[in-house]
Chain A
């Protein structure tokens, strides 16, 4: 009997020290991970490869990305002080087109590294804003991609900016749009955007 008691005691001691399943990952990181995993899954999906499936693939990617990226917010922040001067209709058109461009940029960035793993380096949360630091590590290079996110009313985290290698995408467009709109009318910018999407 003594032997059993001692064995049970030993087991208890071991059990005490067994780590609790890692609960430290934050909700913001979890939510982002779901989206990135889905994007990678679609890109890796063999049945969606090839030209005739391109449209189908694009549609499913769009669906996943729109769940997590707020392109309206990104458009607003990119136009910054020029946003208010636009009519509701103009805003709608701009969000539609600029969103498409951002979507393409993001997909082409991540498409190069579909065979690689995305590492979640760390995340910082303050109030309703967070920044999730990720890194794509390939055989030859390391690309840090950070996601700036905010929390909506229902607790969902949405991306409002991408920081690739220390350069904020929204910030970069903000500089460009501001400089362009100083010299050119807004219509010219929309025209350029149209040309970019057609290419």
Chain B
């Protein structure tokens, strides 16, 4: 090392060099430290993004003062002295307030809905499941993932417009970035380069969620043939999003429906067994599905 020689030369020069050396070493140590911290904390994310804040709202309700919790999220506040064991259901009931609402979601079209539910159930077991299972066995996972990514990329206009409509400017920008990167480097969306290498992530937005974010309620429950559970609001949203989906502009309708069917079979191939599990666990699959749909939508809207 060059420093070793300079020690012997002595004098001020040496001191200067050593000061410099110490400075560099401490700088390196500092940066190593920083990255170590970043790695160590990634698992528990104390640095909370906006997403986390809105997650918090799901849990605690939309109280501004809850934001203070963020700084100390891992420290329980030792206040309530009562033992939870002795507390009655009221202590827990606030978690299920949302569910109370879902129980109340009107189902005026019950007989139609039940018929559609039975039809979709039949369709799943008679057609979709065997098709998707066959497709899954003959298609490599990498290809199926690529196809899923491609269709996801194609829905960029839906996510972009609805982010804008919800005033999520930052997310809309991220969405543009993801689209540009994946369309070019990701070969028309086949690879999710933006998500994997640039760590860009957004959540799926649609018009139903946008309307929900404007405090428009579900209306009532509808089961659409083929598409499955929905609500009045989400059906309106679904119809609106129709115009933002490029697939709907494909000209000969045979090709258009062919593409849609392929998309459905491909995405179902990832979720085989989920519907069966839901049915197996349910006492009343119709209600279980309805409740799961509403809960899932509420969660997405609050994000």
Q: How large is the interface on A (under 10, 10 to 19, 20 to 34, 35 or more residues)?
A: 35 or more
Q: How large is the interface on B (under 10, 10 to 19, 20 to 34, 35 or more residues)?
A: 35 or more
Find chain B residues with CB under 8 A from A189 CB. Answer: 283
Find chain A residues with CB under 8 A from B89 CB. Answer: 76-77, 80, 83
The closest CB in chain B to the CB of A21 belongs to: B40
Given A122-B45, A192-B283, are A25 and B25 also a contact pair (CB < 8 Å)?
Answer: no
CB of B114 within 8 Å of the partner chain: no
Query: Would you call B33 and A18 a contact (CB within 8 A)?
Result: yes
CB of A45 within 8 Å of the partner chain: no
The closest CB in chain A to the CB of B72 belongs to: A125
Shortest distance from the beta carbon of A33 to any chain B beta carbon, whole Å: 10
The closest CB in chain A to the CB of B30 belongs to: A17
Q: Which of B170-178, B248-256, B286-294 contacts A (4 or more CB under 8 A)?
A: B286-294
Q: Give B contacts to A, CB under 8 Å.
A: 7, 18, 21-22, 25-26, 29-30, 32-33, 36-37, 40-41, 43-46, 48, 52, 55-56, 59-60, 69, 73-77, 79-80, 83-85, 89, 91-92, 95-96, 98-99, 102-103, 141, 144-145, 270-271, 273, 277, 280-284, 287-288, 290-292, 295-296, 298-300
CB within 8 Å of B: which A145-199 residues: 148, 150-153, 160-161, 165-168, 170-180, 189, 192-193, 196, 199
Within the complex, which residue of B25, B69, B102, B299 is in contact with A124, where a contact is CB–CB below 8 Å? B69
Query: Would you call B96 and A171 a contact (CB within 8 A)?
Result: yes
Since A16-B29, A19-B40, A175-B103 are in contact, a sample of 19 more A-B pairs with Cβ atoms closer than 8 Å, ordered by chain A residue number, is A13-B22, A14-B26, A18-B33, A19-B33, A101-B281, A120-B44, A125-B76, A127-B77, A128-B80, A130-B76, A139-B141, A152-B84, A165-B296, A167-B299, A172-B292, A174-B103, A175-B99, A175-B287, A180-B287
Find chain A residues with CB under 8 A from B270 CB. Answer: 140-141
CB of A87 within 8 Å of the partner chain: no
CB of A105 within 8 Å of the partner chain: yes
Find chain B residues with CB under 8 A from A140 CB. Answer: 141, 144-145, 270
